[in-house]
Structure 1
Amino acid sequence: MTMRHVILEPAEEGGYTVYCPSLPGCVSQGETRADALTNIKEAIELYLESLSAHNEPVPPDIDVEIEAIAV
């Protein structure tokens, strides 16, 4: 099992959008935080399976930092 960082964002229409910054285009959603995390786990698994099936390299996970700045 490998670990991947994901980012959860509250969606304007309710629920959550979640994505994995180290896997471009790997995005999911859910009505609850738990649903979103379950769904992104499945999306990541499918993404990695697709890379393997196409003999593509698996990108390493990346550390994510979030900062608030005044603008």
Structure 2
Amino acid sequence: MKAEFTAIVKKDGDWWLGWVEEIPGANAQEKTKEELLVSLKDAVIDILELRAEESRRLAERDFEEVPLAI
């Protein structure tokens, strides 16, 4: 599955700062824009994996995972 998100990025002095609009907590700061985009992608992946694990844990048992295409 492929998903698209929106990264807000800006240069602040010697640093590039950024966050992902759709994923609270997905933010980073790096020395280059390229490094920032990699860090933001990693942050999104980590947050989504953690949320998926938590959702499955909270469901406990007898649940079904159904893919949603948006």
Q: TM-score, normalised by structure 2?
A: 0.71
Which residue of structure 2 lines up, in the alignment, with residue 59 of structure 1? none
Stretches (4+) displaced over 6 A: none
Q: Which has the larger radius of gyration?
A: 2
Higher relative contact order (CA 8 A, sep 6+): 1
Give the root-mean-square deviation of aligned CA atoms: 1.4
Superposed, 1:1-71 pairs within 5 Å as: 1-12=2-13, 14-55=14-55
Deviation at 1:21, TM superposition (A): 1.4
Unpaired segments of 5 or more residues in structure 1? 57-71
Cα distance in 1, alignment partners of residues 9 and 21 from structure 2: 11
TM-score, normalization by structure 1: 0.70
1:68 matched residue in structure 2:
none
More strand by share: 2
Q: Name the aligned partner's letter for residue 36 of structure 1.
A: L
How many residue pairs get matched?
55
Q: What residue identity is the alignment partner of 1:40?
A: L
**1:33, distance to aligned residue in structure 2 (A):** 0.6
Q: Which has the higher helix share?
A: 2
Unaligned runs of 5+ in 2: 57-70
What secondary structure, in the 3-state scheme, does the structure 2 residue paired with 1:36 have? Answer: helix
